[in-house]
Amino acid sequence: MRISVVIPALDEEEALPAVLASLPRPPVSEVVVVDNGSTDGTAAAARAAAGP
């Protein structure tokens, strides 16, 4: 079974790493962070969590 998680985020740079770390793997196989115009480092935090 594959489970995808979609996280809407706006200015969540500080909270996002903890939220992503709390997701159980498995069964979560895909995480999509939707950043719609954050003015902090939300997008960078999401990319950093994705790894290389």
For 23-34, what is each residue's pLDDT tens digit? 988 888 899 999
Per-domain boundaries in the chain: 3-50
Residue 2 pLDDT: 86
Residues 18 and 16: their CA atoms lie apart, in Å, by 5
Banded pLDDT at 47 (limits 50, 70, 90):
very high
3 state DSSP class of 49: helix
